[in-house]
């Protein structure tokens, strides 16, 4: 039978293996885009404070609930804590703001967006603040360790406000350390994952810890070219890659579906974003069929260890993946 969910540790919650990503969904479109995604069958919405559209994303979710398309418990809402709120004194206020913006009573999964503790910017001063202090053009760190941040996440679980908690953009070293003091183990690690950045050792080790993986930016450079990221501009587009196109043609699928299916078949969830209803629908159709082993093996050969979402690629002195 087709696998459509991943089971999360501790709660046993079934996380949909295909969700909808909210990054770069324009504020004026977000309510309708999210509503349309849910109407077309998406049951996981992946947002973040940093995307600056949680009010509108929340409106889309609530509209779908109000119209009876889904019940709250049938939709899995993920969001993420931004880097400027890592201090144990700032987590709860940041979370409360997000929950209020989303107009929900709880989230299904709350992630630490990046292991980068940036100097706090008060919510009233700028929201979401991005990477800099207002009026400045350099990143500034603050001394907010992960071992103090994680217990604040655990309190959100205890309070019934986050059903599951997890992490993003972390490597084995950090996760190994986190597991030495976590009372509640992370349920999910969200990472950049596509054929140019396969991270097979990380994926295998994390899955062995009973932590599920969500792959982001499944189409590789496509998402980063418009941001002017150098490595993405130089890379051959994955969606038009000869091997991906040939596999797609041979199986009567689109290249996007092949890229998404490749991750799903490795046991990882995917969260594609699209502004087009047709692409939304086809992106969701990746669980009822599979790629044969030779196609998976062909894609394995495309690994370049090439990352696009690296803060140092945006010009910040934050080489967190080194």
Enzyme catalytic residues: 51
Q: Which of 84, 90, 198, 218 is in the footprint of ligand NAP by CB under 6 A? A: 218
Structure tokens at 195: 């054929």
Residue 283 binds to ligand NAP (criterion: CB under 6 A)? yes
Binding segment for ligand NAP (CB under 6 A), chosen from 22-30, 63-71, 95-103, 131-139, is: 22-30
Which of 186, 195, 272, 313 lies at the binding interface for ligand NAP (CB under 6 A)?
A: 272
Footprint on residues 108-127 left by ligand NAP (CB under 6 A): 113
Spatial CA neighbour of 264 closest among 188, 321, 316, 212: 212
**From the CB of 1, what's the least distance to ligand NAP, in Å?**
25
Return left, alpha or beta for 252; rule: phi > 0 is left, psi -120 to 50 is alpha, else beta: left
273 binds ligand NAP, rule: CB under 6 A = yes
21 vs 135, beta carbon nearer ligand NAP: 21
Query: Does residue 107 bind ligand NAP (CB under 6 A)?
Result: no
Q: How many residues bind ligand NAP (CB under 6 A)?
A: 28
In the numeric block, the tokens 């993986």 are attached to: 213
* Smallest distance from ligand NAP to CB 289, Å: 16
Task: Kindly report the length of the chain.
Answer: 322
Q: Report yes or no: 71 and 62 within 8 Å, Cβ to Cβ.
A: no
Q: Which residue has the tokens 């967006």?
A: 113
In whole angstroms, give the CA distance from residue 318 to residue 321.
Answer: 9
Residues near 319 by Cβ (< 8 Å), separated by ≥ 6? 310, 311, 312
Interface with ligand NAP, residue 169, by CB under 6 A = yes
86 assigned ligand-binding residue:
no
Candidate list 3, 7, 125, 275; residue touching ligand NAP; CB under 6 A:
275
Residue from 5, 207, 282, 290 binding ligand NAP (CB under 6 A): 282
Single out the residue of 157, 155, 58, 143 nearest to residue 100, CA to CA: 58
**Do 106 and 161 meet the contact criterion of CB atoms below 8 Å apart?**
yes
- How many other C-beta atoms are found inside a 10 Å radius of the C-beta of residue 85? 28
Q: Is 129 in the site for ligand NAP (CB under 6 A)?
A: no
Q: Does 46 bind ligand NAP (CB under 6 A)?
A: yes
**Alpha-carbon distances of 289 from 33, 194, 265, rounded to whole Å:** 26, 19, 10
Q: How far is residue 188 from each of residues 46, 108, 251, measured CA to CA in Å? A: 13, 11, 31
Would you say 39 or 67 has its CB closer to ligand NAP?
39
DSSP 235: S
Strands 269-270, 188-192: pairing kind: unpaired
Residue closer to ligand NAP, measured from CB, 125 or 283:
283
Query: Given the complex with ligand NAP, which of 22 and 34 has the nearer CB atom?
Result: 22
Piece of 88-96, 174-182, 212-220, 310-318 that binds ligand NAP (CB under 6 A): 212-220
Least Å from the CB of residue 75 to ligand NAP:
15
Q: In this structure, what is the dihedral angle of CA atoms 258, 262, 268, 269, given to the nearest 10 degrees?
A: 0
List interacting residues with ligand NAP (CB under 6 A). 21-24, 46, 113, 168-169, 190, 216-219, 222-223, 239, 254, 256, 271-276, 279, 282-283, 309
Annotated binding site for substrate: 113
Annotated binding site: 113
């Amino acid at each position: 039978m087709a696998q459509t969910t991943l089971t999360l540790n501790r709660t046993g919650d079934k996380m949909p293996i295909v969700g909808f990503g909210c990054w770069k969904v324009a504020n004026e479109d977000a309510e309708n885009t999210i509503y349309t995604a849910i109407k077309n069958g998406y049951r996981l919405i992946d947002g973040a404070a940093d995307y600056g559209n949680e009010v509108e994303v929340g409106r889309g979710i609530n509209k779908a609930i109000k119209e009876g398309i889904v019940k709250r418990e049938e939709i899995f809402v993920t969001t993420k804590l931004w880097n400027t709120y890592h201090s144990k004194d700032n987590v709860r206020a940041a979370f409360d703001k997000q929950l209020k913006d989303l107009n929900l009573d709880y989230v299904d999964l709350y992630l630490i967006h990046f292991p980068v503790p940036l100097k706090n910017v008060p919510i009233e001063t700028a929201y979401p603040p991005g990477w800099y202090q207002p009026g400045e053009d350099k990143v500034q760190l603050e001394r907010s360790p992960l071992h103090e941040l994680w217990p604040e996440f655990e309190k959100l679980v205890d309070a019934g406000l986050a059903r599951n908690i997890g992490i993003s953009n972390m490597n084995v070293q950090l996760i190994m350390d986190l597991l030495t003091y976590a009372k509640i183990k992370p349920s999910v690690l969200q990472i950049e994952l596509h054929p140019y950045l396969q991270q097979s050792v990380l994926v295998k080790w994390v899955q062995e810890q009973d932590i599920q993986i969500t792959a982001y930016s499944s189409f590789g450079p496509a998402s980063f070219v418009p941001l002017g990221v150098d490595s993405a501009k130089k890379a051959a587009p994955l969606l038009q890659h000869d091997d991906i196109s040939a596999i797609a043609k041979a199986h009567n699928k689109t290249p996007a579906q092949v890229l998404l299916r490749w991750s799903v078949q490795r046991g990882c969830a995917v969260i594609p974003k699209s502004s087009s209803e047709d692409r939304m629908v086809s992106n969701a159709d990746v669980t009822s069929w599979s790629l044969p082993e030779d196609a998976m093996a062909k894609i394995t050969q495309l690994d370049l260890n090439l990352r696009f979402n690296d803060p140092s690629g945006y010009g910040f002195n934050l080489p967190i993946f080194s």
